Structure 1
């Protein structure tokens, strides 16, 4: 009898799995690099390098072992770095404003205006409050020539700052209606404009970072029931606006001169 032909089963060639697995490993490494490129510094890059060494050596990476996730660590460090920078900027600005406050107070005292010009460092920024008797004649908005040196020194001290500057005009509640000014709003606005123009034209303050506001009688700081209160309410305020919000650390260093 003829022997039956033996049937040999054919096996599928699986050698393609090896280069396929290598390709997936390389793709994983590429995606990690692309994701982290914009966020890593030298220390983070070293950590990623160590991670790749584990992957390419055939070991288990920390991402697959339930350890610290590399991506999460990178994101956390980036966030902490941003917070530290913000705190640093805030503290630098606070130190600058405190130094400026001291310089202004010395200049104001040397010019003999300590009782009518006050400097205060608050949440909004540095506020220089000047009573109208220092700057203007009664009912007028033209800056007096004899106070130009004070305004000039203030302008020189603040013009180099990168902060916005706001000039704000205020009056008391005594009505005014003249050929020049129809109301206290008009008077407070023109006073603020003239102070701003002086700071720009003579003090070198940039036009792109200074502005004015006018409140007339509607933002009093003191009672208008007394002559002293009304005199203090007639004022022009020069604000150096903060660029960085105060933190708990800087808030404790804020001082004011009332």
Structure 2
């Protein structure tokens, strides 16, 4: 009886062909990292040459290094300098234009102030009206004695012409914003019509503005009213003369181009 030959099991070897592409991939990755590291130390021209060579090695395709935006080029730097110079030129041009507009505005307001001063002098109103030109506005101050009966906001019939005359002067300069403000002294109001000096001052400013806006050449969108009551005095309320100065209406013609570096103050009384 013959013995059956027992064959020993042979160990099967795994397919190692995958090592070749793996090693190629690792080689390419190492090369990529080296190139990326070298990017920080190379100039724009060398970077472009390296990008072209490396892209050609990768199957002649378009690689990530082909994007020139990854590294600054001379043309990018020149373009940045040109834009910066353009911004400087634009800024200088704007400043020059604003300076010219500010000068024109100063001339306009001085002319407007001169017209008011001539009207005040011609009508013997120097004790009741005052003008002042400063860095923010042309201010016309009107004593309440020239406008209202005591404790009331209705403009006196003989004073309505004053408001109309002011409106005629203002119509030559229609582009300026105008604020009409009312003020009182610190004596509490005591009548059935007004509960406080706030109400009285605000209504006085409103009534005066309404007469100004009878003039159809004035734009109502440019006008506003404020009532300050007793809280912005210009004189001491402990005396009758001081209280009289505090009871007033102010017409403010506001500057559009204020120059905070200068303080121009011209007054006439």
Q: Tell me, yes or no, if structure 1 residue 196 matches structure 2 residue 209.
A: yes
Q: 1:167 aligns with which of 162, 180, 197?
A: 180
Q: Where in structure 2 are the equivalents of 1:50-89 lying within 5 Å?
A: 69-89=81-101
For residues 150 and 97 of structure 2, what CA distance do their matches in structure 1 show? 48
Structure 1 residues 141 and 203, CA gap change in structure 2 (3 angstroms) = farther
Q: Tell me, yes or no, if structure 1 residue 155 matches structure 2 residue 167.
A: yes
Q: Which segments of structure 1 move beyond 4 Å, counting only runs of 4 or more?
A: none
Structure 1 residues 216-249: Cα deviation after superposition (integer angstroms, max 9, x where no partner): 111101110111110010000000011111154x
How far residue 148 of structure 1 moved from its aligned partner, in angstroms, is 2.1
For residues 124 and 174 of structure 2, what CA distance do their matches in structure 1 show? 26
Alignment RMSD, CA only? 2.5
Partner residue, 2:268: 257
Q: Tell me, yes or no, if structure 1 residue 212 matches structure 2 residue 225.
A: yes
Partner residue, 1:114: 126
Q: Where in structure 2 are the equivalents of 1:30-45 lying within 5 Å?
A: none
For residues 169 and 259 of structure 2, what CA distance do their matches in structure 1 show? 22
Q: Where in structure 2 are the equivalents of 1:20-35 lying within 5 Å?
A: none
For residues 151 and 253 of structure 2, what CA distance do their matches in structure 1 show? 27
For residues 254 and 73 of structure 1, what CA distance do their matches in structure 2 show? 38
TM-score of the two chains, using structure 2 as the length reference = 0.67
Aligned partners of 1:152 and 1:203 also within 8 Å: no
For residues 149 and 110 of structure 1, what CA distance do their matches in structure 2 show? 14
TM-score of the two chains, using structure 1 as the length reference = 0.70
Aligned partners of 1:155 and 1:199 also within 8 Å: yes
Structure 1 residues 233 and 80, CA gap change in structure 2 (3 angstroms) = same
Partner residue, 1:14: none
How far residue 252 of structure 1 moved from its aligned partner, in angstroms, is 5.7
For residues 140 and 120 of structure 1, what CA distance do their matches in structure 2 show? 27
Aligned length: 197
Aligned partners of 1:108 and 1:150 also within 8 Å: no
Compare CA radii of gyration and give the structure with the larger one.
2
Aligned partners of 1:171 and 1:217 also within 8 Å: yes
Structure 1 residues 178 and 122, CA gap change in structure 2 (3 angstroms) = same
Q: Tell me, yes or no, if structure 1 residue 221 matches structure 2 residue 266.
A: no
